[in-house]
Amino acid sequence: MTFIAKPKLTHPSLPQNALGLTRRAYEGALSTLCAGCGHDSITAAIVEACWRLSLEPQNLVKLSGIGCSSKTTAYFVSGAHGFNAVHGRMPSIATGANAANRRLTYLGVSGDGDTLSIGLGQFCHAIRRNLDMLYLIENNGVYGLTKGQFSASADLGTRAKKGETNLQPPIDPVLLALDLGATFVARGFSGDKRQLVPLIEAGLKHRGFALIDVLSPCVTFNDHEGSTKSYAYTREHYEPAVFADFVPREAPILVDYAPGEAREVALHDGSRIVLRKTDSDYDPTDRAAAGAAVQSRMNSGEYLTGLIYLDPSEARAEFHQVNATPDEPLNALPYEQLSPGAQGLRKILSRYR
Amino acid sequence: MHTIAPAYGGLETFGAGRCRTPSGLFYCTCHTPARGWLGGGAPLALSLCTLIQPSNIVDPTDTSNPDYYHRVVDCQWACPAHTDVPEYIRLIAQGRFTDAYLVNRQSNVFPGILGRVCDRPCEPACRRGRVEDKPVAICRLKRVAADHREELSARLPKIPPVKNGRRIACIGAGCASLTVANDLLPLGYEVTMFERYEKPGGLMRSNIPAFRLPESVLDEEIGMILGMGVELRLGTPVESLRALLEQGRFDAVFVGSGAPKGKELRLPGRDEASANVHIGISWLESVAFGHIGHIGERVLIIGVGNTAMDCCRTSLRLGAREVKVMARKPREFFKASPWELEDAEEERIEIMVNRAPKAFVLERGRLAGMLFDCMEYELDARGRIVTERVTGEQFLPADDVILAIGQENAFPWIERDLGIAFDKWDVPVVDARTFQSTRAGVFFGGDAAFGPKNIIWAVEHGHQAAISIHRHCQGEPLAERLAPAVTLHSRKMGMHEWSYANDYAPLERRLMPHVSLKERFKKLNIEVELGFSAQQAAEEAQRCLNCDVQTVFAAKLCIECDACIDICPVDCLTIAANGPEAELRARLKAPAVNAAQPLYVSGALPQTGRVMVKDEDLCVHCGLCAERCPTAAWDMQKSDIHWPHAAEEAHALEARKPKIA
């Protein structure tokens, strides 16, 4: 961390987005994480993605639980709404907020502990509900705030800083999400923003639950030899399966791909994701095959990354369709419509007598 | 044919030595010893290996070259005398005015004088002017050091009581000669200085009006040097160099006689009107020495350089009521420094553009005014004049006209058969590094060497000539002088502790307080600028970005976590695949457009073989990269730039002499 505030001064030729804002307008408070933390890079990637999408800061909702990762929502888009939930309970808050106002963009930032240990149940149900949000896991395999114990995502055989070996198998959020029917499943690496930024853009624009599991080395407790989540190990064992370019609705198609090399997927709002495969046999729209590929790479100690699975039809009913929520945010509905009134209440109660 | 996706364009390599070619489009398929494959980017336009072949990449920056870090300190690099600006500003911020003065004196010799009238090439170069509007008021802070310093005679160089037996003649007692004396007297030389006027100081005294540079300041700083034991011969012009050389008294002669001849304007009526037509620098000189005390009510100044500014403002103080400065070309072509123009315009001087002088007009044998051609210019996109035409003419009445269109050096007193070669413009041929003429032992410096420049250039000429004179007198080859050097010292004190003020202060440039327009014309020598108060100086000093506290990178420690890149407020850092420089510049986080400022390019980084690139152009030296670096690959280190003077040269020569047991 640092105690010196980042000067407000900017590069004079910093580009502006459609709202006339520079990237700097999407920054947040000074990070208090360790210097070199992968999470800070992810924060920078989120800043970049929000800027590129020209998101209006007040239309973004940042949600998090507890942990190093969950602190980071303070470090980007200070003009957005934010809610720090209790440990592992961010999906409930996200569900409530989403139910009340579906017009906002929901970004949950969580960690491997917050998601895969204490919050595993909530995480699973958010996927099952197909809650319209981007759920980003900053995954470093250790409990950083409590001094580096193995987390539920620590790989079998990985070594702790003091030398112990992890003997329990990891819970892999990507496999879990594929299993539970998530419609957008991706994995990235904090050290590769070129891959990560478009994934975040696409994830924010995807309708339904989007998961990005980001490998984010803990520079203090998990960046040593023998760790399977260090910067060096991740770079060495990191295998992009699919590159996803996010193309905003307004942008013309500038990229000239050879036939068969790329596949375009339109999102509900007219923007597009262009998928480019690194292996011609890989099909990112085949859930079973994607799961098998992730599993087989994992067995050989590698991380398959990129946009691993995408439901191109966006056909699965998402939370609002299932629950028939109104289009209008609740705060915009007239009081009479929100409240059944004494007579209406009596009517409802009578149903239970 | 693939193209590069524009949005995430550019190429990235990952995994040094991992150029595998299993399948897919994104791997480099080149079979040369390639260093990477494309990660997360886009399809390849070119084989990556053609881009990273040794002939096609930028070599790691050689930061051991003293010029590299020197250039980052833009002010110091721009200063002809290489004044350590950030260091003295830091000392001012600490209230150590005497120390700040001595840091200045080391390189520029006349801090009090230059703090008022320097041409300040440092200020346009100042980095603050690139990230904000206005540079640090470097020149005015120099004056603060001079104004607030304490008595320092004990800290001036010691003069050895026993001389070394070598005698040097300095011709002219201006800034160049005084610098030579300043550098050589502490080494035991005896210096004799010949001056044609009754007071030393040269053009600093005769051409800079007292309302800009008070006599007391001049006397004090010149006195410091004279007090070291110069044998000063006032009122003694050298009429013949031959005679001086033939005396055989001197081991070396330094010619620092300036450029004392004002340019003439040969137009109809010039001779008839001569009683009321004055040559700018001669006229200023006559004012300075009290020979002229009055001028007509309506004055025209021809020319728009700094001398013209001094002439017009002096005229106002000698009784003129309506002073016009006549410029042949539009404002962007003015030679005067912007601040001198501002000061003149504050005194309600009118500057008329596009008026080319045509004739002096006389009435009854006396100057009545001047006739001008009205000009019109067509400029090209780069602001150069393509065509000019005359659209009419205009008469302007005047009682006096002052010509301020330039000056030249003149050497009627140097015989042309002394072995001193003169070029086709009749100026002596002088070596740009050693300042020696074609005759061994005769040196030139200041305006006498390469024509009119300014005080700070003359001072540096003096320093360099002093080194040459010393080597000459020691029988050493002149060109083999000490090279400049840079030393670096870390500013890290502990966790989050740096021994410099790296918090960016968003302050605007302080304005220099002036004497009111009512007051300042009452006397000729009322200094207009009041100088910064201690409070203003402290605030202005905060604006300095500490460019001498360098960002020093150790590639082998980098783990490529991106922390420095994410935190840099001005986006000057990038980790990228190496490539040809022009292409690399366009690929940076913020494209490096100022090609004059070199890029820093590291060696290959351990994990991926990419390189760390820093565009020095806009770095504000906040130190956040070093603060955020988990492995201390970035460090903030203070650079000391050692620009040798005669004392260091003497020391080095002495050290090399064989010791007799």
Q: Among B56, B82, B99, identify where a domain stops.
A: B56
Which of A85-94, B169-178, B277-286, B578-587 is predicted with the least confidence, judged by mean pLDDT?
Answer: B578-587
- Answer yes or no: is B144 within a domain: no
CB burial readout A137-166, b (16+ within 10 A) else e: bbbbbbbbeeebebbbbbbeebbbbeeeeb
Can you name the residues that pair with B436 across neighbouring β-strands?
B443
| B positions 484-503 inside 8 Å of A (CB) | 496, 502-503
Q: Which of B402, B398, B373, B397 is nearest to B308 (CA)?
A: B402
Same domain, B270 and B400: yes
Same domain, B221 and B302: no
CB burial readout A39-55, b (16+ within 10 A) else e: bbbbbbbbbbbbbbbeb
- Answer yes or no: is B388 within a domain: yes
Amino acid at B569: P
Q: What is the pLDDT of residues A218-252, one digit of tens each?
A: 999 999 999 999 999 998 888 888 878 888 877 66
Same domain, B318 and B353: yes
Structural Rg of chain A based on CA atoms: 21
Amino acid at B289: F
Q: Among B363, B388, B405, identify where a domain stops.
A: B405
- Mean pLDDT of all residues in A15-41: 94
Q: Which fold has domain A23-323?
A: Rossmann fold (3.40.50)
Q: What is the pLDDT of residues B37-50, one digit of tens each?
A: 333 333 333 344 44
How far is the alpha carbon of B16 from chain A, nearest alpha carbon, in Å? Answer: 9
Which of B543, B564, B567 is the best substitution to test chain A (most A C-beta atoms within 10 A)?
B567
Name the closest residue on chain A to residue B590, using Cα atoms: A14
Asked if B194 and B233 touch (Cβ cutoff 8 Å), the reply is yes
d(CA A277, CA A243): 6
| A273 contact residues in B (CB cutoff 8 A) | none
Q: What is the pLDDT of residues B136-150, one digit of tens each?
A: 999 999 999 999 999
- Looking at the complex, does the CB of residue B591 fall below 8 Å from at least one CB of chain A? yes
Token match 């050689």: residue? B62
Asked if B57 and B579 touch (Cβ cutoff 8 Å), the reply is yes
Q: Read off the pTM.
A: 0.87
Statement: residue B591 has pLDDT above 90: no
Q: Which of B38, B47, B50, B49 is nearest to B11 (CA)?
A: B38
Which of A107-121, A335-349, B580-594 is predicted with the least confidence, judged by mean pLDDT?
Answer: B580-594
Q: What is the pLDDT at residue B441?
A: 95
Can you read off the two tokens belonging to residue B83?
A: 């004044």
- Mean pLDDT of all residues in B475-487: 93
Neighbour tally for B154: CB within 10 Å: 6
Asked if A242 and A284 touch (Cβ cutoff 8 Å), the reply is yes
| B positions 537-566 inside 8 Å of A (CB) | 559-563, 565-566
| A72 contact residues in B (CB cutoff 8 A) | none
Can you read off the two tokens belonging to residue B357?
A: 């002088």
CB contact under 8 A, A196 and B40: yes
Residue B563 is nearest to which of A36, A240, A277, comparing CB atoms? A36
Same domain, B400 and B422: no
Q: What is the pLDDT at residue B452?
A: 86
d(CA B405, CA B300): 13
Q: How confident is the model at residue A254 (pLDDT cuts 50, 70, 90)?
A: low
This complex has an ipTM of 0.89
d(CA A107, CA A46): 10
Average pLDDT, chain A: 91
Q: B425 or A201: which carries more pLDDT confidence?
A: A201
Q: What is the pLDDT of residues A72-82, one digit of tens each?
A: 999 999 999 99
Same domain, B190 and B283: no
Q: What is the pLDDT at residue B21?
A: 29
- The DSSP call for residue B514 is B
Statement: residue B260 has pLDDT above 90: no
Same domain, B278 and B387: yes
CB contact under 8 A, B629 and A279: no
Which sign does the torsion angle of CA A202, A204, A206, A209 carry? positive
Which of A25-34, A314-323, B169-178 is predicted with the least confidence, judged by mean pLDDT?
Answer: A314-323
Residue A38 is nearest to which of B561, B569, B608, comparing CB atoms? B561
Statement: residue A42 has pLDDT above 70: yes
Which long-range contacts (C-beta less than 8 Å, at least 24 apart) are formed by B293-296? B293/B318, B294/B318, B294/B319, B295/B319, B295/B320, B295/B399, B295/B400, B296/B320, B296/B398, B296/B399, B296/B400
Same domain, B382 and B275: yes
Q: How confident is the model at residue A135 (pLDDT cuts 50, 70, 90)?
A: very high
- Mean pLDDT of all residues in B16-30: 31
Same domain, B219 and B238: yes
Instruction: Write out the H or E segment, with its range, that includes residue B571.
Output: none
- Answer yes or no: is B526 within a domain: no
Statement: residue B368 has pLDDT above 70: yes
Query: How many Cβ contacts (< 8 angstroms) between chains A and B?
Result: 161
- Looking at the complex, does the CB of residue A300 fall below 8 Å from at least one CB of chain B? no
* Percentage with pLDDT > 70 across chain B: 91
- Mean pLDDT of all residues in A327-335: 92
| A49 contact residues in B (CB cutoff 8 A) | none
Secondary structure (3-state) at A165: strand
Statement: residue A160 has pLDDT above 60: yes
| A220 contact residues in B (CB cutoff 8 A) | 630
Same domain, B234 and B290: no
d(CA B24, CA B29): 10
CB contact under 8 A, A6 and B624: yes
Q: What is the pLDDT at residue B13?
A: 38
d(CA B135, CA B406): 28
Which of A276-280, B188-192, B200-204 is predicted with the least confidence, judged by mean pLDDT?
Answer: A276-280
* Residue B311 C-alpha from the chain's centroid: 24
Q: Which distant-in-sequence residues (6+ apart) come within 8 Å of B295 by Cβ?
A: B315, B318, B319, B320, B399, B400
Statement: residue B442 has pLDDT above 90: yes
Q: Which distant-in-sequence residues (6+ apart) come within 8 Å of B494 by Cβ?
A: none
Q: Which of B33, B21, B23, B26 is nearest to B5 (CA)?
A: B26
| A192 contact residues in B (CB cutoff 8 A) | 14, 39-40
Q: Structural domain of residue B392, as residue ranges?
A: 266-405
Statement: residue B35 has pLDDT above 50: no
d(CA B281, CA B263): 9
| A2 contact residues in B (CB cutoff 8 A) | 496, 567, 624, 627-628
Same domain, B307 and B380: yes
- Looking at the complex, does the CB of residue B21 fall below 8 Å from at least one CB of chain A? no
Q: What is the pLDDT of residues B614-649, one digit of tens each?
A: 999 989 999 999 999 999 999 999 999 999 999 999
Q: What share of chain B is helix, strand, coil (3-state, %, to 5)?
A: 30, 20, 50
Statement: residue B239 has pLDDT above 80: yes
Same domain, B287 and B388: yes
- Mean pLDDT of all residues in B415-437: 93
- Looking at the complex, does the CB of residue A18 fall below 8 Å from at least one CB of chain B? no
* Percentage with pLDDT > 90 across chain B: 78
Statement: residue B527 has pLDDT above 60: yes
Task: For strands A81-84 and A105-111, give the pairing.
Answer: unpaired
Statement: residue B36 has pLDDT above 70: no
Q: What is the pLDDT at residue B457?
A: 96
Statement: residue B103 has pLDDT above 60: yes
Q: What is the pLDDT at residue B15?
A: 33
- Looking at the complex, does the CB of residue A10 fall below 8 Å from at least one CB of chain B? yes
- Looking at the complex, does the CB of residue B130 fall below 8 Å from at least one CB of chain A? yes
- Answer yes or no: is B76 within a domain: no
Average pLDDT, chain B: 88
CB contact under 8 A, B26 and A240: yes
Asked if B517 and B316 touch (Cβ cutoff 8 Å), the reply is no
Q: How confident is the model at residue A257 (pLDDT cuts 50, 70, 90)?
A: low
Task: For strands B298-302 and B322-326, give the pairing.
Answer: parallel
Determine the number of helices (DSSP H) and then strands (DSSP E) in chain B. 24, 25
- Looking at the complex, does the CB of residue A48 fall below 8 Å from at least one CB of chain B? no
Amino acid at A49: A
Q: Which of B113, B133, B109 is nearest to B123 (CA)?
A: B133
- Looking at the complex, does the CB of residue B593 fall below 8 Å from at least one CB of chain A? yes
Residue B3 is nearest to which of A198, A223, A256, comparing CB atoms? A256
Q: How confident is the model at residue B496 (pLDDT cuts 50, 70, 90)?
A: confident
Q: What is the pLDDT at residue B45?
A: 36
Asked if A302 and A239 touch (Cβ cutoff 8 Å), the reply is yes
Q: How confident is the model at residue B14 (pLDDT cuts 50, 70, 90)?
A: very low
Statement: residue B7 has pLDDT above 70: no
CATH of residue B216's domain is: 3.50.50.60
Which sign does the torsion angle of CA B24, B29, B35, B41 carry? negative
Asked if B47 and B29 touch (Cβ cutoff 8 Å), the reply is yes
Q: How many domains does chain B have?
A: 3
Asked if B575 and B40 touch (Cβ cutoff 8 Å), the reply is no
Statement: residue B475 has pLDDT above 50: yes
Same domain, B217 and B325: no
